[in-house]
Amino acid sequence: METPKMKTYSLGEMKDKHIGPIGSNERDEYEYELRMEVLGKMIKTTRRERNLTQEELGKLVGVQKAQISKLESSTNSATIDTILKVFSAMKAEINFNVRLEDNFVKL
């Protein structure tokens, strides 16, 4: 007996169906929150690699421990300046890439 074939969907198709198409407000908000979550995890991972507590990193950056906690848990949208200060305090390099169509903009 042959089993029926299940339809498979790409991640993009699932996002389109359940979140909204690219360019919609819902999709833009989702993508932004996802990037902030990844950034928070990067900050936390780097801090731990440097064997720093949130309080110690806060002192290096000039902010309270609570601000570092918010950055790591992605509950606070950070400015680029703050992000650069955090990674600089940990002596970590961070790169931003801008792509226009098929070309990357280099600074």
Domain boundaries, the chain: 11-105
pTM of the model: 0.70
| H-state helical runs in 20-76 | 25-49, 54-61, 65-72
The predicted structure's pLDDT at residue 76: 63
The predicted structure's pLDDT at residue 80: 83
State CA 19 to chain mean position distance. 18
Q: What is the pLDDT along the chain (107 residues), one digit of tens a residue?
A: 677 788 888 888 888 888 899 899 888 888 888 888 888 999 999 999 999 999 999 999 999 999 999 989 876 677 888 888 999 999 998 877 777 777 666 55
Q: Per CATH, the architecture of 11-105 is what?
A: Orthogonal Bundle (1.10)
φ and ψ at residue 105, rounded to 5 degrees: -90, 125
* Token pair in block for residue 80: 């680029």
Q: For residues 60 and 70, give the distance between their C-alpha atoms in angstroms, rounded to a whole number.
A: 16
